Amino acid sequence: METLRDLDLVRAVAPTVASTEMRASDDGGMPTMVVRFSVFGSWYPIDSMWEGRFLERTERGSFVKTISEQGSRVKVQFDHGQDSRIGAVLLGVPRSLYEAEDSPVGEVPLWDTAYNRDLLPGLEAGAYGSSFRFRVMRDEWDDSPKRSEHNPDGLPERTIKEVRLMEFGPVVWPANPDATAGVRSLTDDFYARLRTQDPHRVEALEARMRSLRTPDAGAALAGTPAEGAASTTDDAPAPCHPSGLSSAARSRILTAPFLI
Task: Classify residue 84 as exposed, middle or buried by CB count within 10 Å of its CB (0-12, 13-18, 19+).
Answer: exposed
The arithmetic mean of pLDDT across residues 185-193, rounded, is 87
Considering the entire predicted model, what is its pTM? Answer: 0.77
Q: Which domain holds residue 149?
A: 9-186
Instruction: Give yes or no for a contact between 189 and 9, defined as CB atoms under 8 angstroms apart.
Output: no
SS3 20: strand
241 occurs within a structural domain: no
Check pLDDT > 80 for residue 144. Answer: yes
82 occurs within a structural domain: yes
* Pairing verdict, β 9-13 and 183-185: antiparallel
Q: Of 3, 64, 50, whose CA–CA distance to 239 is shortest? A: 50
What are the residues whose beta carbons fall under 8 Å from the beta carbon of 240, sequence distance 6 or more? 48, 49, 52, 53, 213, 222
Check pLDDT > 90 for residue 234. Answer: no
Residue 18 pLDDT: 63
Percent of the chain with pLDDT over 70: 74
Residue 212 pLDDT: 59
Residue 231 pLDDT: 43
Residue 251 pLDDT: 31
Measured between alpha carbons, how far apart are the two ends of the chain, in Å?
Answer: 22
State the Cα–Cα distance between residues 93 and 39, nearest whole angstrom: 22
218: left (phi over 0), alpha (psi -120 to 50) or beta: left
224 occurs within a structural domain: no
Q: Which residue has the higher pLDDT, 48 or 77?
A: 77
pLDDT of 201-222, one tens digit each? 888 778 767 765 655 434 334 4
Residue 206 pLDDT: 80
205 occurs within a structural domain: no
253 occurs within a structural domain: no
Residue 92 pLDDT: 97
SS3 165: strand
209 occurs within a structural domain: no
Instruction: Give yes or no for a contact between 38 and 104, defined as CB atoms under 8 angstroms apart.
Output: yes
Please, what is the angle between helix 247-255 and helix 199-212, to 10°?
A: 150
Could you tell me the CA-to-CA distances from 35 to 38, 50, 100, 103 in Å, in that order?
Answer: 9, 26, 11, 10
State the Cα–Cα distance between residues 76 and 79, nearest whole angstrom: 10
Check pLDDT > 80 for residue 115. Answer: yes
1 occurs within a structural domain: no
Task: Classify residue 64 as exposed, middle or buried by CB count within 10 Å of its CB (0-12, 13-18, 19+).
Answer: middle
Number of folded domains that form the chain:
1
State the Cα–Cα distance between residues 201 and 33, nearest whole angstrom: 34
225 occurs within a structural domain: no
State the Cα–Cα distance between residues 242 and 158, nearest whole angstrom: 12
Q: Of 240, 185, 223, 143, whose CA–CA distance to 58 is shortest? A: 185
Q: Which residue has the higher pLDDT, 64 or 221?
A: 64
Query: Which value, in Å, is the radius of gyration of the alpha carbons in the chain?
Result: 19
